Amino acid sequence: MNSSIDLQNTVKEALGVLYHHPDDVLRSRADHWLQDFQRTIDAWQVSDNLLHDASSNVETLIFCSQTLRSKVQRDFEELPPDAFGPLRDSLFGLLKKFNKGLPKVITQIAIAIAALAVHVPVEKWGGGGIVNWLNDGMKSHPECIPSFLELLAVLPQEAHSYKIAARPERRRQFEKELISSIEVAFSLLTGCLSFEELKEQVLDAFASWLRLGHVISASTLASHPLVHAGLSCLGSEQYLEAAVNVISELIHYTVVGNSGSLAEQMPLIHVLVPRVMSLKDQLRDSSKDEEDVKAIARLFADMGDSYVDIIATGSDESMLIVQALLEVASHPEYDISSMTYNFWHRLRLNLNQRDSHLSYGSEVAIETERNRRLKCFQQPFELLVSMVAFRVEYPQDYQCLSEEDQKDFKQTRVVVSDVLVDATAVLGGELVLKSLFMKLLQALENAPSDGSSKWQPIEAALFCMQSIAQFIPSSEAEIMPRVISLLPKLPHQPRLLHTVCSTIGAFSKWISTAPAELSVLATVVDILTRGMSTSEDSATAAAVAFKYLCEDCSKMFCESLDGLFQIYHIAISGEGGYKISVDDSMHLVEALSVVITELPLEHARKAMELVCLPAITPLQDITKLGGASLREIPARQLTVHIDRLGCIFRNVNLPEVVADVILQFWPIFKAIFDHRAWDMRTMESLCRACKYAVRTCESHMGVTIGAILEEIQVLYPQYNQPGFLYLSSEVIKLFGSEPTCSKFLESLIATLFNHTTKLLTRIQDFTIRPDIADDCFLLASRCIRYCPDLFCTSSVFPSLVDCAMIGITVQHREACKSILTFLADMFNRASSAAGEKHRPIVDKVVLPRGATLTRLLIASFTGALPPARLEEVFYVLLSFTRMYGPRVLEWAKETISLIPLTVMTEAERMSFINALSDFAAGSDGTALRNSLEELSYVCRRNRTVQDIVQNALRPLDLNLNAVS
């Protein structure tokens, strides 16, 4: 075993390789070695030695300070009980040693000391805990005050840090200790204000302590020297950022977490708001640094967000704040302007929510007050519309922008759309539409007459219009006819045409009610066909618009079906110059399917044949070639056509018509089933198409559905395709409660589940086949809901419960959720009045397995599953406990007793057991949820603890074969 000196040298060498060696392979090896080293117990002493070693270089000091910080946070329990004193003294010495330099190292050491304080009770720090200990250190070592201030700033930040593997009860105690020390901390900070060079640190630390809790009253803070220091530093370029952080925290302090009334906060608000308002002119000061303007803008945005309920009253004072926020919103820099967008959204909600005006009593008074407020804010929101509309305009050099910048610009357009929606919700659609239309006319007037049209402002105005389409009433007759009439005359620029097409789609509902004499439909169809011929982007927008148009204008299209079919066939065939992709063509398939639904039955049958023809003909040709050719053809050449048919089956809502087509196509589908059952992609596509057909046709499918299910029963045991399971789920949902289908479904259930339980016998099988597991237990849940009589009495039911228990800890998200949902559904069904007759069957299966299942659920909470799965596990435990309360309690006690007391104290055990007992006795699940969250954290607080718990609970060691 290496000595400490050898390890120190190895660490230095590895860092040298990591930062300086030209060989990537060697650097990667060094990195992995250093990560492994950080997890060892030797890392404590080696890191401490190297930090105290005067010969250590900067890279070594940074690495070792990070390592020591991480060890204190996560692995403090590795150390013997008497290690606290030497560790504290060593860290204190390091804090003093690095006082004059290496801020990164000082910060890491400060966090390490703060983490130590979270772990160790107050009495070990002497009277008054770490803050008094720090106070003594500052008095005895005044030359080290900068380092001590860093620690003082870090302490409240670490109070809520879950990087520190402290027990929840100790964390709560630490927070109380800090809160009780706030006045001491403020006194220390106040004493440091006299040192000009420390002012920024003092302000940062003050802001940090303000986040901790509302202990000091607003009236006391209003006259506090630290508050006035922050306010005075708003006029200082050097300390502006720190001052803004303080004032921002003080603003939040007056509204967040206060149990008192707003009146109690007014002394502080009256100090803060006028000082912030005095900065308004600096927003327009071109000589001011952009970062300073951004900091000031953030203050106004924070003030708006925090005081939105007061501002919404529309008082003269609040309107001054609104004017300042408009000033921010008008700033040319988007990063600054966008700081106010959340305020406008919250203001819109306040103005439109009836609850905001309930205090006015009668309905008449409420409506009168609401209208008064809306009138107050009409002009600000009108200005806001004009201030944000230009931000969606494409830059001239858009094509030259990086991919990241293009992505940011597109996100800006999304955000601006939301702002326009907020404004329109206050102003009404017609007013905003008129304003945007004037911008469109202005853009057209300003377009050059030499043919080199500047299309960007035109496109921007249209983009803004489509953003508010939902607010435009169908009866609007002033602006929309003029907009539609302008669309064909706009420049044929691809991006502009893309927006023109998407605008048509956005206003499809208005188009559906437009007066016939305007010939709107013919106009927009011509534009959309041009869009499909111009570029891939405009073709995408045109296809989507066609879908919306057909959904809203389906009856109108019934009269011009030939033209629609012509567009469809050109798009599907790929001939005729359309630039529409295979994926986008699905929008046209869907569009035409919706129109067919509106046809009389005899016409719909003919239209159905025509719409299916481009998809079924290639499949028919392929199947005629014979089995060998069908097996060899690439999946894509099949799925593209099958997916189109699936889309048709899904959207033509004429059960008899679709059923006739399915019967006609069945020989082709059967050939694909028979010769491509080995191919997952093809089977997924075909099963999805059949699922949509079953959903649309229901009982009209007649013999075809029986033929499909016979295929499934034969092919599933041979080829293990998950698609067969989810197609069966749809059948169970629709026919599970039909007595006439019971015999057939009983056979289906037995075949599918018997084979699946043989496939999934170990947790590794679930990991290898998560899609099978997912669809199997989705099917099982469907069986519980729609055919419980068949399912619960089936001989496969016990094996399926065993299978669920084996796979409960699978890491695949969807498979895990399906298993947990199945278990919860099983318990809920058996506990319900409707499922009372199944209770004895479920009891017979579950009770012998109850102790194991309880252990699995608790193991899942304590580390076997990721935290994101805990809500589903919690729901299973609730359902399980409702059904078997006293028994679950006993099983839980047995399970918890397996966890060593070094990991979980007796008090922590009893907290969980008591919460479970209370729930079993009839309380709601809130206390149990909180207790389980703490249990989960305690058992996951670091890797070592988590490993101990999992080794104790053995979630993968089920021994289920012994259970009959």
Q: How far apart are CA 46 and CA 63, in angstroms?
A: 11
Nearest of 722, 746, 745, 718 to residue 734 by alpha carbon = 745
- For the stretch 905-935, pLDDT in tens is 999 999 999 999 999 999 999 999 999 999 9
Supply the pLDDT for residue 160. 86
- The structure's pTM equals 0.90
User: Does the pLDDT at position 358 exceed 70?
Assistant: no
Q: How far apart are CA 952 and CA 909, in angstroms?
A: 15
**DSSP codes joined into one string, 134-162:** HHHHHHH-GGGHHHHHHHHHHHHHHTT-T
CA within 13 Å, CB half, 561: 20
Nearest of 158, 149, 219 to residue 190 by alpha carbon = 149
Lowest mean pLDDT across 268-277, 339-348, 444-453:
444-453
- For the stretch 460-492, pLDDT in tens is 999 999 999 999 999 999 999 999 999 999 988
Q: CA-CA distances (angstroms) from residue 770 to 775, 777, 784? A: 9, 11, 21
Residue bearing the bigger pLDDT, 673 or 452 = 673
Supply the pLDDT for residue 958. 66
**DSSP codes joined into one string, 28-80:** HHHHHHHHHHHTSTHHHHHHHHHHH-TT--HHHHHHHHHHHHHHHHHHGGGS-
Over range 116-145, report the average pLDDT. Answer: 91
Over range 391-418, report the average pLDDT. Answer: 96
The label of the residue with tokens 């397995």 reads 849
Q: How far apart are CA 341 and CA 327, in angstroms?
A: 13
CB atoms within 10 A of CB 78: 14
With a pLDDT cut of 90, the percent of the chain lying above it is 88
Q: How far apart are CA 157 and CA 115, in angstroms?
A: 10
Supply the pLDDT for residue 452. 57
- For the stretch 564-595, pLDDT in tens is 999 999 999 887 789 999 999 999 999 999 99
Three-class HEC string of 350-388: HHHCHHHHHHHCCHHHHHHHHHHHHHHCHHHHHHHHHHH
Q: How far apart are CA 285 and CA 610, in angstroms?
A: 67
User: Does the pLDDT at position 959 exceed 80?
Assistant: no
Q: CA-CA distances (angstroms) from residue 379 to 234, 310, 382, 585? A: 31, 18, 5, 45
Q: How far apart are CA 304 and CA 418, in angstroms?
A: 18
Over range 231-243, report the average pLDDT. Answer: 95
Amino acid identity for residue 173 in this structure = Q
Q: What is the CA radius of gyration of the chain?
A: 35
Over range 497-514, report the average pLDDT. Answer: 96
Amino acid identity for residue 567 in this structure = I
Phi-psi group of 720: left, alpha or beta (phi > 0 → left; psi -120 to 50 → alpha; rest → beta): left
Nearest of 35, 180, 30, 151 to residue 92 by alpha carbon = 151
The label of the residue with tokens 């921002």 reads 248
- For the stretch 772-808, pLDDT in tens is 999 999 999 999 999 999 999 999 999 999 999 999 9
Supply the pLDDT for residue 259. 52
Over range 323-327, report the average pLDDT. Answer: 97
Phi-psi group of 959: left, alpha or beta (phi > 0 → left; psi -120 to 50 → alpha; rest → beta): left
User: Does the pLDDT at position 361 exceed 90?
Assistant: no
If pLDDT is split at 50, 70 and 90, which confidence band does 963 have?
very low
Between CA 751 and CA 758, with CA 755 as vertex, the angle to 5 degrees is: 150
Helix/strand/coil for 736: coil
If pLDDT is split at 50, 70 and 90, which confidence band does 613 have?
very high
Q: How far apart are CA 617 and CA 627, in angstroms?
A: 17
Q: How far apart are CA 147 and CA 111, in angstroms?
A: 12
Q: CA-CA distances (angstroms) from residue 50 to 10, 56, 95, 107, 753? A: 12, 6, 14, 17, 61
Helix/strand/coil for 575: coil
Supply the pLDDT for residue 213. 82
Over range 68-92, report the average pLDDT. Answer: 95
The label of the residue with tokens 């609970």 reads 953
If pLDDT is split at 50, 70 and 90, which confidence band does 437 have?
very high
- For the stretch 23-77, pLDDT in tens is 999 999 999 999 999 999 999 999 999 999 999 999 999 999 999 999 999 999 9
Mean pLDDT for the chain? 94
Query: Which residues, at least 6 apart from 515, have a Cβ–Cβ distance to it below 8 Å?
Result: none
Over range 716-743, report the average pLDDT. Answer: 94
